[in-house]
Amino acid sequence: MASTTPSTSTTPTSSSSSSGGNGRSRFVIGIVGKPSAGKSSFLNAITDASAKTGAFPFTTIAPNHGVAYYRLPCPCARFGLQAQCRPRYGSCQNGTRHVPVEILDVAGLVPGASAGLGLGNQFLDDLRTADALVHVVDVSGTTDAAGKATVGYDPVNDIDWLTSEVHAWVFNNLTKNWGGLVRRHTMLKASPIETLHKQLSGYGCPQSMVAKAFDACPKTLRDKPLETWDQETDVKDFVSVFLKTRFPTVVALNKIDLPDADTNIEKLDRKYGQSQELVLCSALAESFLRKLAKQGFIRYTEDSDDVVTHDDEATLKPMDEKTAARLEKVRDLVLFRYGTTGVHQVLARAVEVLGLVPVFPVKNIHNFTTGAAKAVFRDCLLVPPHTRVRAFASMVHPELDRNYQYAETVGGRMMGEADEITLDNNIISIKTSET
Ligand SMILES: Nc1nc2c(ncn2[C@@H]2O[C@H](COP(=O)(O)OP(=O)(O)O)[C@@H](O)[C@H]2O)c(=O)[nH]1
Ligand SMILES: [Mg+2]
């Protein structure tokens, strides 16, 4: 197979947006899937195309990027401060915080991409910036491997295809000069983690991530000297484990509104339910409901089965017959059967598989304000699991790290700079020599 690999340079070229401790807290969720699986529809359904600048902290949004909002309980509700809660980015609605998350449509990942088909290497750059993946699968079986309309296609193929495509990409890169890699490894008396990281750094991962993958390998593999690793078995196994660490994936079983979805869902659940995060959704239904809501025909609470129409509330615009019939179908086929369109659940699971912890930095730990404004809980950052207080300071602002004195949490309780941030101590005030 032709190798289409990332940078082979041995200098770390980490472009991962999340690499802990690099002063940023910015996560990118990459949307992947074969053509016509519904990636663009999903992106449209999940993102707020009308989001104005200032709704998110990202400076530039490229054409295939979007911003979605991850929802979580905001601490303002716990302290009865909903009225004063005005987030700098995103929003807070009745104690539910909407935190911006960046979404990227990795459209170029088509069958055969690792062998240079389709857009070839272009998608690799996109993929490298993603921290987690959402694999959009057409669960209705109405599109074939190339995305053409068909009937009775087995979506099992798609899940296996994506896994092997990404696997081939990493495997080819790792093994294309395996002999040289092993010689260098022996010569430098390096640890297997150091050697593997050197070759994998182009995938935007710190050494700690390679170490995590290595530790997750079976003992028999860890105990085996790298020089004796067999490419076809040992290296392939390692790559499989590495991919789980580097690209945690949520499989979005899309188009649940179509007839054959049911049978396929059952089948996929039997095959992957234990090993994969599977979430059911209908991107089209969500887009449709959001559009009707925007046009004033319905009131729709995202991620709920709560649809209010003119029949229930006279202030809403009446629908024409065709639209009403379509709404009835969406209610029957999606909301009634599955509870929600599932689209937001996909996003939530993607944030959760990454283990992200929401943290609320405030200037004043007693009234939760920042600066002169009366507004509380102005900021919320999603940080990697096991982030320590001092590393968090540098994520908020390099100045906070430079002039760091101490940190406290609710009640003025002192925190050590090596303390890990959890949901129990995630409201934090960093004191600096400047304040
Ligand atoms: N019935 C149904 N069709 C969908 C759904 N999501 C997407 N589609 C349709 O699938 C086709 C391909 O969608 P698109 O988003 O362009 O796929 P992409 O190539 O992966 O970006 C379009 O005709 C969409 O309207 C869904 O949830 N239900
Ligand atoms: Mg598309």
Average pLDDT over residues 263-276: 93
Ligand 1 lined by 258 (C-beta under 6 Å): yes
SS3 state of residue 416: coil
Ligand 1 lined by 135 (C-beta under 6 Å): no
Average pLDDT over residues 357-361: 96
pLDDT grade for 199, boundaries at 50, 70 and 90: very high
- For residue 136, report the distance from its CA to the centre of ligand 1, in Å: 10
| Closest Cα to atom 7 of ligand 1 | 38
Nearest ligand to the CA of 146 is: 1
For ligand 1, what atom is nearest to the CA of residue 35?
Answer: 19
Q: How far apart are CA 45 and CA 10, in angstroms?
A: 40
Q: Specify if 190 maps to a domain.
A: yes
Ligand 1 lined by 34 (C-beta under 6 Å): no
- For residue 254, report the distance from its CA to the centre of ligand 1, in Å: 8
Radius of gyration over alpha carbons of the chain, in Å?
24
CA distances from 310 to 102, 199, 332 (A): 35, 61, 18
- The whole-number pLDDT of residue 11 equals 30
In this structure, the answer to whether residues 81 and 213 fall within a common structural domain is: yes
Q: Specify if 331 maps to a domain.
A: no
AA letter at 373 = A
Q: Specify if 115 maps to a domain.
A: yes
- Say which residue, 153 or 205, is predicted with more confidence: 153
CATH number of domain containing 408: 3.10.20.30
Q: Specify if 126 maps to a domain.
A: yes
Nearest ligand to the CA of 147 is: 1
- The whole-number pLDDT of residue 259 equals 92
Would the CA dihedral through 52, 57, 60, 66 be positive or negative? negative
Would the CA dihedral through 350, 423, 96, 16 be positive or negative? negative
AA letter at 104 = L
Q: Specify if 324 maps to a domain.
A: no
Ligand 1 lined by 341 (C-beta under 6 Å): no
Domain termination residue (choose one: 250, 279, 301): 250
Q: Specify if 94 maps to a domain.
A: yes
Average pLDDT over residues 294-322: 93
- The whole-number pLDDT of residue 109 equals 72
Encode pLDDT of 1-51 as tens digits: 333 333 333 333 333 333 333 334 578 999 999 989 999 899 989 986 555
Q: In the chain, how many domains are there?
A: 2
In this structure, the answer to whether residues 63 and 206 fall within a common structural domain is: yes
pLDDT grade for 229, boundaries at 50, 70 and 90: very high
- The whole-number pLDDT of residue 315 equals 95
Q: How far apart are CA 389 and CA 136, in angstroms?
A: 36
Ligand 1 lined by 35 (C-beta under 6 Å): yes
Residue 96: which H helix or E strand, with range? strand 96-105
pLDDT grade for 204, boundaries at 50, 70 and 90: confident
AA letter at 132 = A
Of 395, 353, 109, nearest to 248 (Cα)?
353
- What does the DSSP assignment read for 280-338? E--HHHHHHHHHHHHTTS-EE-TTSS-EE-TTT-TTSPPPPHHHHHHHHHHIIIIIIHH
Domain termination residue (choose one: 194, 220, 250): 250
Ligand 1 lined by 38 (C-beta under 6 Å): yes
- For residue 35, report the distance from its CA to the centre of ligand 2, in Å: 7
pLDDT grade for 61, boundaries at 50, 70 and 90: low
Tell me: pLDDT of 106 over 90: no
**Tokens standing for 163?**
């896994």
**Which DSSP state fits 430?**
E
- Among 122-131, 161-170, 261-270, the least confident range: 122-131
Tell me: pLDDT of 118 over 80: no
pLDDT grade for 139, boundaries at 50, 70 and 90: very high
Q: Specify if 285 maps to a domain.
A: no
Encode pLDDT of 419-430 as tens digits: 999 999 999 999
CATH number of domain containing 42: 1.10.8.470
Ligand 1 lined by 240 (C-beta under 6 Å): no
Ligand 1 lined by 345 (C-beta under 6 Å): no
- Among 23-32, 298-307, 370-379, the least confident range: 23-32
- For residue 343, report the distance from its CA to the centre of ligand 1, in Å: 13
What lies within 8 Å, CB to CB, of 318 at 6+ separation is 297, 310
In this structure, the answer to whether residues 220 and 71 fall within a common structural domain is: yes
Q: How far apart are CA 265 and CA 132, in angstroms?
A: 23
Query: Which conformational region is residue 91 in: left (phi greater than 0), alpha (psi within -120 to 50 degrees), or beta?
Result: beta
Nearest ligand to the CA of 32 is: 1
- The whole-number pLDDT of residue 425 equals 97
- The whole-number pLDDT of residue 261 equals 96
Check: CB of residue 134 under 8 Å from CB of residue 346.
Answer: yes
Residue 61, classified by CB atoms within 10 Å of its CB into exposed (0-12), middle (13-18) or buried (19+), is: middle
- Tokens 């990459």 sit on residue: 30
Tell me: pLDDT of 121 over 70: no
- For residue 111, report the distance from its CA to the centre of ligand 2, in Å: 15
Check: CB of residue 409 under 8 Å from CB of residue 427.
Answer: yes
- The whole-number pLDDT of residue 224 equals 97
- The whole-number pLDDT of residue 63 equals 65
Q: Specify if 10 maps to a domain.
A: no
- Say which residue, 126 or 387, is predicted with more confidence: 387
| Closest Cα to atom 26 of ligand 1 | 255
- For residue 39, report the distance from its CA to the centre of ligand 1, in Å: 7
- Say which residue, 360 or 10, is predicted with more confidence: 360
Mutation test residue for ligand 1: of 36, 126, 330, 346, the one with most atoms within 8 Å of CB: 36
pLDDT grade for 203, boundaries at 50, 70 and 90: confident
- The whole-number pLDDT of residue 416 equals 96
Average pLDDT over residues 70-74: 95
- The whole-number pLDDT of residue 205 equals 87
Q: How far apart are CA 170 and CA 237, in angstroms?
A: 12
pLDDT grade for 58, boundaries at 50, 70 and 90: low
- For residue 146, report the distance from its CA to the centre of ligand 1, in Å: 14
Nearest ligand to the CA of 329 is: 1
**Tokens standing for 249?**
């994936």
Ligand 1 lined by 324 (C-beta under 6 Å): no
Domain termination residue (choose one: 250, 279, 294): 250
Domain that holds residue 413: 357-432
Mean pLDDT across the chain: 88
Nearest ligand to the CA of 134 is: 1
Average pLDDT over residues 365-378: 90
